[in-house]
Each structure stands twice: as structure tokens, then as C-alpha cells.
């Protein structure tokens, strides 16, 4: 199977599907990899680096799609790529099909594509290894963004995130104690902020309290505690995830009114629909807007801010899956790798993830059933 790596065309996306070291590993295994010219430029990888690693450079994404059986991307294809997608093609990316357009979903189904969503690849313990890797980066970059947009020159309150002698630090509230929330808490505490985290899972909160040695204030997330903590927050971080499904709007427009003027809302869940009713996707080159005096930062591809680190991290975790798919027929590879199998949202023109089917009100077909037949 030929593996294709097209250039990312989503706005302000600087990552690439695989770094040269990953291409080299595949080439050593005997696989053919084709890379679109300039695909790695945003992450600091030249075409020469890819050629030295064993890839063939082509000048157009159409050629990548036309020749490759397996397409490896970071984000879901954009509209100008739709026509190039081939019947029966395998596409691996952060697809988020539950919130995709019906048109794109129909296109993939009509062409009997296999769609593997990085966000739903799940191991036997229920962990999401690929999503975890990007979420760790997103969480750790949160305090850098928060510090910037608390500054006076960025329309913020003029608050130093970590405070100063005799001056209190910023109050950071995190909604969700998953990977993003844990890493955001760690990074914000490391910069000296006061951090409060809410989650509906008591055992998770208990574990976090122990992990952070009592430095993290925790609350059960409910209709009473959420409005209470919003009233004193300087920064609110949305870090809620339901794998494969649209994120519920936990903070309503009315609740936004509880925040003090020039506070910051940072919705890391925006790629799954966002957990603030007032959230809408933005881009790195124009990341913020203001609603009712509250700054909203809702960029869906935060790790692109550190594109080189994020590309290496992505390749470290996805390379074994790419290699497995390229080394045998897809059905065989999926039977051998239950973790990868759980990431399959579409297979042979059928929707095989229940939350995608529910989101689009379509028929769900068990992947086990399709593989057995």
C-alpha cells in the first residue's frame, strides 16, 4: 500500500501528518511514501529532509490522493480536497465526524472510504492514546495563552497569571479533569496561578487532589458549583470531552454574564462543538472575539502553535498504526489491533461508530459484523 501525506490546508495549520523520522521508519519496512511538496514547511521539515528519509516528493495534493491507498493527515480534509478523495481510500486524521458537515460524511460513504478518527482510537483500558498526546500539548500551552490575553495590551484585565509579592495571582477555573484539564492544571499551577477544577467524576477529583498534593481546588460539577466558581474566575478553560460525540454546552449565555468584565474563556473543546454556548471556532491568525465583555479564545488546533513538537508527538503514537495498515489488508490489520479498530468511524461505506451515527441520525453497523463478513 502506498502511503500519502498531503499538505494540511486547514487555516493556520502548521503540522504535518508524519515527520521525516516516521517516513524513514516506513521506508525501512519497505513501504512507499509520497509527500506533497511543502507539506512539512510549517513544522520546519524541508522537502530534502523527506527525500533523504526515503519519500517521493510530488507537486500536487491531487497526485497524493490519486496514488495513495492510505492518506495520513493531521486534520480532516477541507472542501478543496473532497474531489480528490478516491473510492475505497483509507483516511487517518482527527476527523471529528460527529460535528462534520453531512455533505462530507455522504461523500466518504458514497466512495466506500474507511475513516479512522484519531480522537476515537481507544485501548483496552479506555484511554485514547492519540487524542491524549495532542491533549497533553493543548493543556500545557493553555497558560501561555491565558497569560497573554490577561495582559492589558491584549484587552485583558491586566493581571499577572502568577501574581507577585503582596499581589494575588489569577484565578483559573478548569471544566473537566481529563487529559487536557490535568495538563492545564499542572501548567497553570506551575506558573503560580490559583486553579479550581470541576468534574462530574468524584474518583477522578479524588485522584487529582492526591496528585497535586492539595494545591488544586476541586468541586463536583453541578448546577450549584458551576455558577459559583464563574463569579470569581479570571480565566475559564473548557476541557470537556465525550469521545466521538458533540460536546454539551455546559456554560450557557446567561452564565457568561456571571463572569467579570474582560475575563477570558478558552474553549479547548471547540473541535467537538465547544462547551460554552457562546463559542464558535476561530483561527490562530484571528483567535479571539468578545461576547458580553468576555474575551473568547476558541482555536480548534492549539497544538499547531508548537507545530514541530506536536508533529513529532503525533508521529510517535500513530506510526505503529500506520505501519500495521500498510503491511496487510485493512480487515486483517483491524482484527489484530482492537485499539485501532475502535478508531474506525466508517468502513466500506457504513457508519461503524455509534456516536457518529447518532449525531447525524444515520444507520449504525457494527464493525465486528463487517469484518466477519
- Residue with the three cell numbers 500539548: 137
Given 24, 31, 96, 296, the catalytic residue:
96
| Dihedral pair phi/psi, residue 241, rounded to 5° | -140, 130
Contact (CB, 8 A) for 266 and 239: no
Residue 275: exposed, middle, or buried by beta-carbon count in 10 A (0-12, 13-18, 19+)?
buried
Is the domain spanning 132-300 CATH 3.40.630.30? The answer is no
As a whole number of angstroms, the distance between CA 189 and CA 139 comes to 12
Q: Is 250 helix (H, G, I), strand (E, B) or coil?
A: coil
In the chain, what are the domain boundaries? 2-120+307-372, 132-300
Q: Which of 234, 267, 271, 353 is catalytic?
A: 271
Note whether 35 and 2 are within 8 A (CB). Answer: no
Give the distance, in angstroms, between the CA of residue 311 and the centroid of all CA atoms in the same chain. 13
Closest CA to 318 of 16, 66, 31: 16
Catalytic-residue membership of 96: yes
Instruction: Give start and end residues of each alpha helix (H) in the chain.
Output: 20-28, 47-53, 61-67, 102-110, 129-149, 179-190, 202-211, 225-230, 253-256, 307-327, 330-336, 338-341, 354-360, 367-372
The pLDDT score that the predictor gives to residue 357 is: 93
Strand 294-297 relative to strand 288-291, pairing: antiparallel
- What is the C-alpha to C-alpha distance for residues 94 and 96, in angstroms, rounded to an integer? 6
CA atoms of 281 and 200, how far apart (whole Å) = 26
Secondary structure of residue 177 in the 3-state scheme: coil
Is the dihedral angle over the CA atoms 145, 146, 147, 152 positive or is it negative?
Answer: positive
Closest by alpha carbon to 311, among 43, 5, 41? 43
pLDDT tens for the chain, 373 residues long, are 899 999 999 989 999 999 999 999 999 999 999 999 999 999 999 999 999 999 999 999 999 999 999 999 999 999 999 999 999 999 999 998 988 899 999 999 999 999 999 989 999 988 899 989 999 999 999 999 999 999 999 999 999 999 999 999 999 999 999 999 999 999 999 999 999 999 999 999 999 999 999 899 999 999 999 999 999 999 999 998 776 667 888 899 999 999 999 999 999 999 888 999 999 999 999 999 999 999 999 998 999 999 999 999 999 999 999 999 999 888 899 999 999 999 999 998 899 999 999 999 999 999 988 888 7
C-alpha cell at position 145: 495563552
Rounded distance, CA 39 to CA 81, Å?
A: 14
Neighbouring C-beta atoms of residue 152, cutoff 10 Å: 10
What pTM was computed for the model? 0.87
- Do the domains 132-300 and 2-120+307-372 match in fold? yes
C-alpha grid cell, residue 242: 465525550
DSSP symbol at 276: B
Half-sphere exposure of 309 (CA within 13 A, CB side): 13
Question: CA 275 to CA 295: how far, in whole Å?
Answer: 15
Tell me the C-alpha distance between 180 and 189, whole Å: 14
| The pLDDT of residue 242 | 74
Collapsing DSSP to helix, strand or coil, 84 comes out as helix
| pLDDT at 244 (0 to 100) | 64
CATH of region 2-120+307-372: 3.40.50.720
Amino acid at each position: 500500500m502506498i502511503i500519502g501525506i498531503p499538505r494540511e490546508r486547514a487555516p493556520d495549520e502548521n503540522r504535518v501528518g508524519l515527520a521525516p523520522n516516521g517516513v524513514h521508519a516506513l521506508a525501512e519496512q519497505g513501504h512507499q511514501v509520497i509527500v506533497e511538496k511543502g507539506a512539512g514547511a510549517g513544522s520546519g521539515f524541508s522537502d530534502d529532509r523527506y527525500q533523504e528519509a526515503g519519500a517521493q516528493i510530488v507537486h500536487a495534493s491531487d497526485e497524493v490522493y490519486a496514488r495513495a491507498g492510505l492518506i495520513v493527515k493531521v486534520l480532516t480534509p477541507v472542501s478543496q480536497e473532497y474531489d480528490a478523495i478516491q473510492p475505497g481510500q483509507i483516511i487517518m486524521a482527527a476527523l471529528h465526524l460527529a460535528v462534520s458537515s453531512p455533505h462530507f460524511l455522504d461523500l466518504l460513504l458514497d466512495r466506500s472510504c474507511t475513516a479512522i478518527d484519531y480522537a476515537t482510537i481507544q485501548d483496552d483500558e479506555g484511554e485514547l492514546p492519540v487524542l491524549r498526546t495532542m491533549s497533553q500539548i493543548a493543556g500545557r500551552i493553555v497558560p501561555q495563552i491565558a497569560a497573554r490575553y490577561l495582559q492589558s495590551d491584549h484587552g485583558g484585565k491586566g493581571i499577572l497569571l502568577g501574581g507577585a509579592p503582596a499581589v494575588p495571582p489569577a484565578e483559573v477555573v478548569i471544566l473537566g479533569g481529563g487529559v487536557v484539564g490535568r495538563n492545564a492544571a499542572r501548567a497553570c499551577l506551575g506558573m503560580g496561578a490559583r486553579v479550581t477544577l470541576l468534574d462530574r467524576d468524584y474518583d477522578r477529583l479524588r485522584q487529582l487532589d492526591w496528585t497535586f498534593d492539595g494545591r488544586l481546588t476541586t468541586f463536583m460539577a453541578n448546577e450549584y458549583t458551576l455558577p459559583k466558581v464563574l463569579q470569581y474566575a479570571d480565566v475559564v478553560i473548557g476541557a470537556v470531552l465525550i469521545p466521538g460525540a458533540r460536546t454539551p454546552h455546559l456554560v450557557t449565555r446567561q452564565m457568561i454574564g456571571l463572569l467579570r468584565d474582560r475575563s477570558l474563556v478558552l474553549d479547548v473543546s471547540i473541535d467537538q462543538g465547544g462547551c460554552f454556548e457562546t463559542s464558535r471556532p476561530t483561527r490562530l491568525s484571528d483567535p479571539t472575539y468578545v461576547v458580553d465583555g468576555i474575551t473568547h479564545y476558541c482555536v480548534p488546533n492549539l497544538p499547531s502553535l508548537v507545530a514541530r513538537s506536536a508533529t513529532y508527538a503525533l508521529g510517535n503514537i500513530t506510526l505503529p498504526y500506520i505501519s500495521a495498515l500498510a503491511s496487510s489488508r485493512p480487515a486483517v490489520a483491524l482484527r489484530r489491533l482492537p485499539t485501532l479498530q475502535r478508531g474506525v468511524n466508517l468502513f466500506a461505506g457504513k457508519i461503524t461508530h455509534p456516536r457518529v451515527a447518532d449525531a447525524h441520525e444515520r444507520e449504525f453497523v457494527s464493525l465486528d459484523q463487517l469484518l466477519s463478513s
